[in-house]
Structure 1
Amino acid sequence: MISPRRAPGGFPVVGIIGGGQLARMCQPPAVNLALTLHVLSESPDAAAALVVPSAPVGSHLDVGQVLAFARDCDVVTFDHEHVPAEVLQALVGAGVPVHPKPEALLFAQDKLAMRERLTDLGVPCPAWVPVHDAAELAAFGDLHGWPVVLKTPRGGYDGKGVRVVSSVQEAADWLAHGEVLLAEECVPFTRELAVLAARSPSGQAAVWPTVQTVQTNGICTEVLAPAPQLDPVLAAKISQTALLLAGELDITGVFAVEIFEIAGKAGTAPSYVVNELAMRPHNSGHWTIDGSVTSQFEQHLRAVLDLPLGEVSARAPWTVMGNVLGGDYDELYPTYRHLLARDPGLKVHLYGKGVRPGRKIGHVNVYGDDLDALRVRARHAADYLEGTVTE
């Protein structure tokens, strides 16, 4: 096991379980904060391992490897939410500060637990029920209408583990596994929103402006910050919900609340329901790297170490993020060079991943005064990097 080299002055070591792009994007703010990152990486060429000097290879599923890794850390956090409960409890039992806490992380790992807790708190949610068999699914669909959104309680992301079904027959293969599923009403939403917040162990909290997310084939392809034409009353309610969840769920670190906005009827104000929670820096917050005074990655490091949180106001009236998907090519660098020359104000963030069609390999940010022009610039850059446009 490779031990990290501490920075002079007694600055702490932050351990991150998982070597993906979120851990990678924590490295620049860690350098600026004089912190040392120690990453438990899935492989020597994982995204974070390419930029973090201390990145031993190990599995988040192996209790022994995780405990050995954590010996050199002042605090441990996560690149993803798939660390098993027994591993989390072993860390806590060994006296390692873990953020977010396992009790909070559960509500991102288990959608049924999340729905039950949010409902208890009075947070707006779609109608939902756990279903064990075809009869329970049929009863829910007949009561709330078809189609029904069916989810696996654990393991889903980027559209995986989610299916919209118009009949029991369309869910037959999932029901045949004999495992409990989450059934939700199909909400007639007008757009998808997200709010990002941070909370420290001492209880300080901060909320970024609510953003609009644009989905394509179940993957977020664009983020508009702040959400255009968002009703101010609704924006305040969404921020209040994020702060409520931060306190009631005892969340520490950065987290995201994914939301469906629902149009008001006959002059009534718009409303919303919470779709998902993510207990980590989130794709909907990548705009903050260039568009906010404090990025979500710097804020996450501050929060898990219980440092004072940073300012979260926007640097410009609008920031647009475009996700970059891989294309069918081998060399990305010439394309990258071309974009930097074509648009000097463009900020390109690549994750060091191997390129394959449809894989999320990075994102671009642009910010300024003209939202429509920013969207065009971000979309062109993302499409050019993907190879769907060539000029």
Structure 2
Amino acid sequence: MDSRTQLPVVGMVGGGQLARMTHQAAISLGQSLRVLAASADDGAAIVSTDVHVGSHTDVEALRGFAKECDVLTFDHEHVPGDLLRTLRSEGVVVRPAPEALRYAQDKQAMREHLGGLGLPVPRWAPIDSVAALADFGVPCVVKTATGGYDGKGVFYVDAPEQITELLDAGAVLIAEERVRLRRELAALVAGSPGGELASYPIVETVQRDGICTEVIAPAPGLSEVLAEQARELARRVATELGVTGLLAVELFETDDGLVVNELAMRPHNSGHWTIEGARTSQFEQHLRAVLDYPLGETAPTAPVTVMANVLGGAPGGSRLDERLQSMLADDPGARVHLYGKQVRPGRKIGHVTVLGDDVETVRRRARRAAAWLRDGDPEAGEEA
């Protein structure tokens, strides 16, 4: 408890953009957000007043950070489960619990557990040799069981021998069929320790080169029957796994129905639109959930909301500040969130959100704004 405010202290492991935007949500609730950052230059570290610099794999750094926090939560899933169990044994409240977080950390464990529950997953198998992959069949998708994100650790394989270097490096691998999909969707649900659940509208996510570039809320043309199936699937996963906080369930929409792709147990890129586009943002909802506060309304604030990620462009050209000013003059209704990151080509450095009534108009505005911030060329967004 913060003696100055008499309100809880939430500790968030990780100092990236998710912690940065959670910090913004904490301000309105009066919460004190403590951040464990890898560097003082991390996006959340440069805006938060309570920053501890340390590694998420160092139990002493975690222990010192968690001291006097009312609850410990995460902006990524990379904290080893044994360290979290150690902290919990010492009285630290960890949400989500390490037993739940495991299924966002380990794709093999996730596939085994969800399949055992009878939930729809792709055909898959653990792979420990070139021969095992040959038996599974190619072409397919090969993933590292742990550590992957934003397309990292995901490989499209056409010949079994392509995984030789991964095996030689000691990677734990799984293979999945290449699902014939119509599009990708995401279902976001929050769960509290008391059992309350709150679901957001189902969204469509647009991926390029393994990176989410755009989110459309709600997913255009999605029948209410399929939308409710997606919400119910996410609620069941949250309940079965005992998730506390935000759960994002990434889904494939296929001709035969829905298939679970990935899980994340934290605020998620597919939910950034909620800052302006929902009654309660995913970041405030995550704080409410881990503190066991009543959950907020999730109704949309506009018929259509589109979030476009801003990626780093090629070196050179005008300064980001100049691009920002020009973009805001061009579309004053676009809402910008920059993450305080050094710009590198292809790196997520922010996002833009646009609200409106017509899907194509809103998408065009969001793409244009993101392209302007990326490389100073608003017309580049028309290619997307």
Q: TM-score, normalised by structure 1?
A: 0.94
Quote the residue 2:50 is aligned against.
54
Task: Quote the offset at 1:72 in angstroms.
Answer: 2.0
- One-letter code aligned to 1:283: N
| Secondary structure in structure 2 of the residue aligned to 1:26 | helix
Quote the residue 2:86 is aligned against.
90
Quote the residue 2:180 is aligned against.
188
User: Equivalences for 1:259-278 in 2 at 5 Å?
Assistant: 259-264=251-256, 271-278=257-264
Give the Cα–Cα distance (whole angstroms) in 1 for the partners of residues 329 and 90 of structure 2: 52
| Secondary structure in structure 2 of the residue aligned to 1:11 | coil
Q: Structure 1 residues 58, 177: closer, same or farther in 2, change over 3 A?
A: closer
CA RMSD after TM alignment:
1.3
Give the Cα–Cα distance (whole angstroms) in 1 for the partners of residues 98 and 210 of structure 2: 28
Which of 32, 39, 46 in structure 2 is aligned with 1:43?
39
Quote the residue 1:342 is aligned against.
330
1:159 aligns with 2:147: no
Which of 302, 305, 320 in structure 2 is aligned with 1:316?
302
Q: Structure 1 residues 177, 302: closer, same or farther in 2, change over 3 A?
A: same
Quote the residue 1:104 is aligned against.
100
Task: Quote the offset at 1:165 in angstroms.
Answer: 0.8
Give the Cα–Cα distance (whole angstroms) in 1 for the partners of residues 14 and 145 of structure 2: 22
Which of 266, 288, 296 in structure 1 is aligned with 2:282?
296
Q: Deviations over 1:304-363 (max 9, x none)?
A: 000000000100110000000112247211111111121111100000111121110000
Residues 7 and 35 of structure 1 are in contact (CA less than 8 Å); yes or no, is this contact kept in structure 2?
A: no
User: Equivalences for 1:204-243 in 2 at 5 Å?
Assistant: 204-243=196-235
Residues 192 and 245 of structure 2 are in contact (CA less than 8 Å); yes or no, is this contact kept in structure 1?
A: yes
* Percentage of pairs with the same residue: 56
Give the Cα–Cα distance (whole angstroms) in 2 for the partners of residues 57 and 178 of structure 1: 30
1:331 aligns with 2:328: no
Give the Cα–Cα distance (whole angstroms) in 2 for the partners of residues 135 and 87 of structure 1: 35
Which of 197, 203, 210 in structure 1 is aligned with 2:189?
197
Gaps of 5+ in 2: 380-384
- One-letter code aligned to 2:276: D
| Secondary structure in structure 1 of the residue aligned to 2:56 | coil
- Structure 1 residues 72-81 or 332-341, which shifts more? 332-341
Quote the residue 1:115 is aligned against.
111
- One-letter code aligned to 1:173: E
Which of 124, 129, 135 in structure 2 is aligned with 1:128?
124
| Secondary structure in structure 1 of the residue aligned to 2:121 | coil
User: Equivalences for 1:273-284 in 2 at 5 Å?
Assistant: 273-284=259-270
Give the Cα–Cα distance (whole angstroms) in 1 for the partners of residues 252 and 3 of structure 2: 44
Give the Cα–Cα distance (whole angstroms) in 2 for the partners of residues 324 and 252 of structure 1: 30
Task: Quote the offset at 1:86 in angstroms.
Answer: 2.4
Task: Quote the offset at 1:390 in angstroms.
Answer: 5.2
Q: TM-score, normalised by structure 2?
A: 0.96
Quote the residue 2:382 is aligned against.
none
Give the Cα–Cα distance (whole angstroms) in 2 for the partners of residues 180 and 56 of structure 1: 32
Task: Quote the offset at 1:388 in angstroms.
Answer: 5.8
Q: Deviations over 1:17-71 (max 9, x none)?
A: 1111100001121111111011111111110011110012111111011101111
- One-letter code aligned to 1:374: V
Residues 100 and 279 of structure 1 are in contact (CA less than 8 Å); yes or no, is this contact kept in structure 2?
A: yes
Residues 210 and 227 of structure 1 are in contact (CA less than 8 Å); yes or no, is this contact kept in structure 2?
A: yes
- One-letter code aligned to 2:48: V
- Report how many residues are paired: 377
Quote the residue 2:163 is aligned against.
171
Q: Structure 1 residues 172, 314: closer, same or farther in 2, change over 3 A?
A: same
